[in-house]
Structure 1
Amino acid sequence: MIVVTGSVTVRPETFEEARRLSLEHVRRSRQEPGCISHAVHVDCENPLRLVFFEQWADRAALAAHFAVPASGEFVRAVRSLATGATTLELYDASKLEKL
C-alpha cells in the first residue's frame, strides 16, 4: 500500500475556495480504482492549513491518479491560493499485525 500525506496553508480570504476544491478533489479521487481512502482535514493548530491523507493499493494506482487531468488542475488551483509551498510525501507501507 502507498500512503500519501500532503498539506497546504492558504490565505484567509481563499480558505473557503481551497476547502471547496479540496473536498471536490477528495470525493472524485475516492472513486478511482485502487483508492483505499482519501481525506482532507483542517489542522487544529493552524486553521488555514489543510492536511491530506490518502491510501492507495499500489504505485500503479497512484500513478494513474496523478495522471488524471483533474488531479493536476486541482494542484495548480490550490497552489494559487497558498501562502507558501505545499507538501507531498509518499510512503510505501504494509499493515502490521498485532505486536
Structure 2
Amino acid sequence: MILVTGHIKLGAGEGEKARALLVKHMADCNAEEGCEFYSFAYDVTDPDLVRISESWASPEAIAAHGELPHQKAFGRALQAHGVQDVRVEGWNAEHWRTLIGG
C-alpha cells in the first residue's frame, strides 16, 4: 500500500473556482485500477489550501496514475488557479490498527 499526502496552495479566492476541476479529478482517479481512495479537502482555516489524501494498492498503480492523460491535463488546468505551492509525498504503509470506529 502507498499512502499519499500533500497540499496545493491556490491563489487568493481560487479555491472555490477550482471546485469543479477538483471534483472531476477525484472521480477520474477513484476509477483507476489500483486506486483505493483519492480525496481533496479544503483546509478549514484557508479555503485556498487543498489537502491531498490518497491510497494506492502498489507502487506500480501510482506510477501508472502519473502517466495517464487525465492526470497530466489536471496539472495543466490547475495552473489557471494561480498555484502558489504544491507538495505531495508518498509513503510505504501497512495497516497498523483502527484507532477510532468500528
Q: When the two structures are superposed, what TM-score results if normalisation uses the length of structure 2?
A: 0.86
The corresponding residue for 1:96 is 96
1:57 and 1:48, CA in 2 relative to 1: closer, same or farther beyond 3 A? Answer: same
Contact 1:22 1:40 in 2 (8 A): yes
Amino acid at match of 2:81: L
Contact 2:14 2:48 in 1 (8 A): no
The corresponding residue for 1:4 is 4
Matches within 5 A, 1:1-99: 1-97=1-97
Q: If each structure's strand is expressed as a fraction of its own residues, which one has the higher value?
A: 2
Whole-Å separation in 2 of the counterparts to 1:52 and 1:46: 14
Whole-Å separation in 1 of the counterparts to 2:2 and 2:98: 20
Give unmatched runs, 5+ long, in structure 2.
none
Q: When the two structures are superposed, what TM-score results if normalisation uses the length of structure 1?
A: 0.88
Structure 1 stretches of 4+ moved >4 Å? none
Give unmatched runs, 5+ long, in structure 1.
none
Residue-pair matches, total: 99
Offset of 1:8 from its aligned partner?
1.1
Q: Deviations over 1:25-56 (max 9, x none)?
A: 11110010011011110101111111110000
Q: Could you say what the CA RMSD is over the residues aligned between the two structures, in angstroms? A: 1.8
1:2 and 1:72, CA in 2 relative to 1: closer, same or farther beyond 3 A? Answer: same
Percent identity over the alignment?
A: 29
